[in-house]
Amino acid sequence: MDSKLVNPFIAAMVSVLPMLGLTDIKRGNVAVKDKLTTTKDVTVLIGLSQDIRGNVAYGLSDECARNIASTMMGGMPVPEFDEMAQSAISELVNMVTANAATNLERLGKSVNISPPTLVTGENITVRISQVQTLVIEIFTTAGTIELNVGVEC
Amino acid sequence: MSEGNYIELWVNALLKNIQTMAEMEGNPGQTVAQPTIFVSRGLAVIIGITGARSGRIILDINMETARQLSEVFNGETGLEEDNIIDSMAEFANIVSGHGITQVNNLQTNLALMLTPPSVFRGNKINITSPKINAEVVEIDTPAGSVKISVGFEGGS
Amino acid sequence: MSKRILIVDDTLFMRVKMKGLLEKWGYQVVGEGANGREAVEKFKELRPDIVLMDITMPEMDGIAALKEIKALDAKATVIMVSALGQESFVMDAIRSGARNYLVKPMQDDKFQEVLARI
């Protein structure tokens, strides 16, 4: 998988998250995996098609998800990952991925994104691609978001 | 233009392919509106739909059904969980492909595309698609029950 | 007299957030819709000064709703608010009669500025 394809997603995180109130965005570890066993409580999935095909999965803990939702809602407390919080996180993922698609358009790649799907559960194994998946840790003041990119041209 | 989910086209695609690939007869139940949370039975394949309308398909089964189906598809027993996941992803891909072709033939201006499949396997898996209104059909087969959910947003 | 605004977005979070900001800035939110069909119906019923319209929604998308609203009232002010930033979407919206196009997430001050110019 071309790592050049991943940069638009990292750039999107760095550009969009601060606009939602999340600061100190830093990139952490990068790893390559072919199968994910995620310990994350919440995974938000968006699929891509047309010039670039694949899936992007955003993984976060329940606490991080609630912190981010709270920040997005102006500091309102979020004791439970309820419908409103889920809506906020899905919207965040939608905005980041749409922003990445715009970045990809500038590279000459036309990309369509699917609506976000939110998955929660226990002991989840996820396979988002037949090719390798790049797993990037993104640190924010609200917690760590795991960006999983499994795409191909 | 009909703004429906065309779920019957996907159900037909599922029935046809389970017949071709597994020589099994599927028995579809009623089409019902999908509640906000889709509770997986253990293995869920999610495929995104993009194009003039966007949405997603979920194909859901429990591990035992997945194992039985995979064994028939592959013509061998004793499969590793990895192979089962792969087989079910491929099956969902084929079914979705047939479905999307039929929808595109019906509504030629849509030019719908599929994203590659994602497979989620685990316990207490809850799937929510906040921007989508979906319908679900449960199909009974000799290997167990297969659930398919199809939902769309509007066009982009 | 404060301007009357209709918010149309299928995401609960966005509707709540926009309503909060608009009311803080002294606008009157007269209605909310969650899809294009509701957008057109509520427009007919409420005749707001401004419509804030998402694009990707179930049943009828924002561009289709924009066209119907402009057909009802050529002077209707519709501002698109969408996560989709690609030029093709922006051009399509403007050509169909949108007054402006905001890409989500928008900075509060930019949002306020765009509204103030109406």
Cβ of A73 within 8 Å of Cβ of C17? The answer is yes
Which DSSP string corresponds to B52-81?
SEEEEEEEEE-HHHHHHHHHHHHT-SS--H
> What's the pLDDT band for A24 if we cut at 50, 70, 90?
very high
CA distances from A76 to A41, A67, A144, B68 (A): 21, 10, 20, 48
Contact C58 B153 (CB under 8 A): yes
Domains of chain B with bracketed CATH: 7-155 (3.40.1550.10)
Q: Taking the domains of chain C in order of start, what are their residue ranges?
A: 4-112
pLDDT at position C87 is: 82
Instruction: Tell me whether B54 touches chain A (CB under 8 Å).
Output: yes
Best to test chain B binding among C61, C86, C89 (most B CBs inside 10 Å): C61
Evaluate whether A48 touches A110 at the Cβ level (below 8 Å): no
Instruction: Return the number of other C-beta atoms located less than 10 Å from residue C87's C-beta.
Output: 10
Q: What are C76-115's pLDDT values in tens digits? A: 999 999 988 888 889 999 999 999 999 988 888 999 999 9
Distance between B150 CA and the closest CA of chain C, angstroms:
13
Pairs of CB atoms within 8 A across A/B: 126
> Given an 8 Å threshold on Cβ–Cβ distance, is B116 in contact with A54?
yes
Closest Cα in chain C to B133: C58
Chain B CB contacts of A43 under 8 Å are: 120
State mean pLDDT over A52-81. Answer: 94
Count CA atoms closer than 13 A to B92's CA, side-chain side: 32
User: In this structure, what DSSP letter does residue C2 have?
Assistant: P
> What residues of C are in contact with residue B156 (Cβ under 8 Å)?
55-56, 61, 84, 89
Mean pLDDT of chain B: 91
Percent of residues, chain C, with pLDDT higher than 70: 100
Q: What is the DSSP letter of B132?
A: -
Taking CA–CA distances from C54, the nearest residue in chain B reads B156
| C55/B156 CB distance under 8 A | yes
Q: What is the mean pLDDT of residues A51-58?
A: 93
Q: Is C12's Cβ below 8 Å from some Cβ in A? A: yes
Nearest to C12 among A16, A19, A84 (CB): A84
Residues of chain B with pLDDT under 70: 1-3, 154-156
* pLDDT score at A38: 74
The strand pairing partners of C101, in sequence order, are C80
Compute the nearest-CA separation of A31 from chain B (Å). 19
Percent of chain A predicted with pLDDT > 90 = 70
> pLDDT tens digits, residue range A82-131?
999 999 999 999 999 999 999 999 899 999 999 999 999 988 888 988 87
**Domain A3-152 -> CATH class:** alpha beta
Query: Of C11, C35, C56, which has the smallest distance from its Cβ to B54's Cβ?
Result: C56
The answer to whether the Cβ–Cβ distance between A105 and C20 falls below 8 Å is no
Mean predicted lDDT score pLDDT of chain A: 91
Inter-chain contact A95–C104, Cβ cutoff 8 Å?
Answer: yes
Give the per-residue pLDDT at A1: 61
**CA-nearest residue of chain C to A105?**
C86
From the list C17, C83, C86, the residue facing A105 with the nearest CB is C86
Q: Flag if A73 and C16 touch (Cβ within 8 Å).
A: yes
Residue B153 to residue C10, Cβ atoms within 8 A: yes
Taking the Cβ of residue A145 and every Cβ of chain C, the question of whether any pair is shorter than 8 Å is answered with no
CB contact under 8 A, A57 and B118: yes
Residues A89, B96: Cα–Cα separation, whole Å: 27
Non-local CB neighbours of A77 within 8 Å, separated by 6+ positions: A70
With respect to CATH, is domain C4-112 assigned 3.40.50.2300?
A: yes
Residues 6+ apart with CB under 8 A from A62: A41, A42, A81
B136 to chain A, closest Cα gap in Å: 16
Containing B14, the helix (H) or strand (E) segment is helix B7-22
Contact B153 C55 (CB under 8 A): no
